[in-house]
Every structure is written in structure tokens, then in C-alpha cells.
Amino acid sequence: MAIKGVSMDIKANKVTAFIGPSGCGKSTFLRLFNRMNDYVDDFSMEGEINIDNENIYDKNINVELLRKQVGMVFQKPNPFPKSIYENVAYGLKIQGIKDKSFLRDRVEESLKQVGLWNEVENDLNKSALALSGGQQQRLCIARTLAVEPSIILMDEPTSALDPISTAKIEDLIYQLKDKYTIVIVTHNMQQASRISDSTAFFYMGNLIEFDKTNKLFTHPEKEQTENYITGRFG
């Protein structure tokens, strides 16, 4: 998917939603922020993406440190085939952290942040694969939080979940924005309107409109945006 002419300013400690029909470039654009597209054959990019006034596509950028700063949660829960504890501690151990007390504290804090601690505190050595889908997704968010990012990317994080689990994730996103900048791709316009501060509408690789969520959904400036949010296409 070729994405053209996109310019936007994503605010810190806010939730920004990307909406648009399937194949419009939302997820491709999202993956630019932690350079996941580097793994895509024939990928190329012109322009800049600046985080803290630093172009993350500069040739001197440390991509490993970037991905610590910019965490990602995917569409389907993807816990490792390890214990609950080892899942959350994984990123820290990869960084070479061996202090058991520190690891325990970070695991507990991260699980508490996602509202999972009380559900699993006596089962930390059990397989993460035994958790429900909603619990697995919250575990994956905890795994992301454990390495203390400043930005969290979420690519349709609730599309594989039931309504109750979806509501828990939405509540969690709302709580997390006090500490993190969150960018979420969603096909669910109602979800975007519930949880985001700003919304970007993509269509055919173009950014059609980007505005405060309430304004975009109630008084869109572009006809294409209005047609999409009123269900005339999509």
C-alpha cells in the first residue's frame, strides 16, 4: 500500500485513532512509527517522522532503542508459550536486566496497570496460553508496558475479542493515556468516537481528514469523510 502526502501532529498523552476501510493504509502507516515496515520487502519511505524532535528514519537512529520507546500491541493476542511471569518479564530480560527483585516489581506493576494482577497473582507460573482471549490481550499490553515505552501503537487490539473483553481494553486505553501516547487503528467507528481524542480518516493511501474526534464525527469537513462515517461506503 502506497501512502502519500501525510502530515500530522500527534499530541502526547492523547489517544489518536486511525479509521478507514480495509486496505486504506492505516496499519501500514501505524507501523512506520516503530519501523516495523523495515521488514517488508521493497519498502521505501520519503519524508520524516519525528519523535521528541528526532527523525526516527535518520540513518544514525538506534532502532532497538526506538522499539523500546514505541511499543506495539497487535490485532490478535500473541502471548509467548511461556509462563505469565516470563511473558511480562521477557522484554526486560532481553535488555539484560537480571535483578530478580526489580523484575518482580515491574511484572507486578505492569499487571496491575492492565487490571490483571488480581486475576493471576497466584498463577504467575502457569502458561499464558491458558488465559482467556481478553486476558491474553491485557497480558500483551502488560508485556509492552514493562519496558516503559512512551508511545503505544495498537493495531485493532479488540477485533478478536468479545464485547466484555473489548470494554475492558477500551477502559484500559482511556486510563493509560495519562502516562502514554496511544495511537490505535480500528475498523470500529463507535470505538474511535468513545476512546480517542483525535481521529484520522484514511482512504486509498491518502489522509483525507484529521481533527478532534468530536468534530470529525459531527461536523466533518470532507465529503468523503461524511460518506464513510454515515455508512455510504466502507
- Does any domain span residue 179? yes
- Does any domain span residue 99? no
d(CA 170, CA 100): 32
Please report, for residues 15, 180, 208, the alpha-carbon distance to residue 194 in angstroms, rounded to integers and kept in the order given: 10, 18, 21
Cβ-based neighbours of 71, under 8 Å, separated by 6 or more: 34, 144, 145, 147, 149, 151, 152, 153
The pLDDT value recorded for residue 134 is: 95
Look-up of cell digits 470529525:
216
- Does any domain span residue 171? yes
- Does any domain span residue 26? yes
Residue 74: give the domain boundaries: 15-78+149-229
The pLDDT value recorded for residue 165 is: 93
d(CA 146, CA 103): 9
- Does any domain span residue 95? no
The pLDDT value recorded for residue 231 is: 87
Q: Give the HSE-up count for residue 59: Cα atoms under 13 Å, Cβ half-sphere.
A: 0
Largest Cα separation within the chain, whole Å, is: 57
The closest alpha carbon to 150, from 77, 56, 29, 19, belongs to: 56
Span 173-194, mean pLDDT?
A: 96
Q: CATH number, domain at 39? A: 3.40.50.300
d(CA 147, CA 150): 10
d(CA 199, CA 18): 6
The total number of structural domains that make up the chain: 1
Which one-letter amino acid corresponds to residue 222? Answer: K
| pLDDT above 70 coverage of the chain, percent | 99
Q: In sequence order, what DSSP letters do the residues of 203-224 get, joined into one string?
A: ETTEEEEEEEHHHHHHS-SSHH
The pLDDT value recorded for residue 234 is: 59
pLDDT in tens, 215-233: 999 999 999 999 999 988 7
Q: What is the mean pLDDT of the chain?
A: 95
- Does any domain span residue 135? no
pLDDT in tens, 15-59: 999 999 988 899 999 999 999 999 888 888 889 999 999 999 999
pLDDT in tens, 108-122: 999 999 999 999 999
pLDDT in tens, 164-174: 999 999 999 99
The pLDDT value recorded for residue 189 is: 94
- Does any domain span residue 67? yes
Span 137-159, mean pLDDT?
A: 97
The pLDDT value recorded for residue 12 is: 96
Length of the chain: 234
Please report, for residues 17, 33, 144, the alpha-carbon distance to residue 114 in angstroms, rounded to integers and kept in the order given: 20, 23, 11
d(CA 106, CA 100): 10
- Does any domain span residue 143? no
The closest alpha carbon to 173, from 187, 194, 188, belongs to: 194
The pLDDT value recorded for residue 166 is: 95
1 pLDDT above the threshold of 70: no
pLDDT in tens, 46-98: 899 999 999 999 999 999 999 999 999 999 999 999 999 999 999 999 999 99
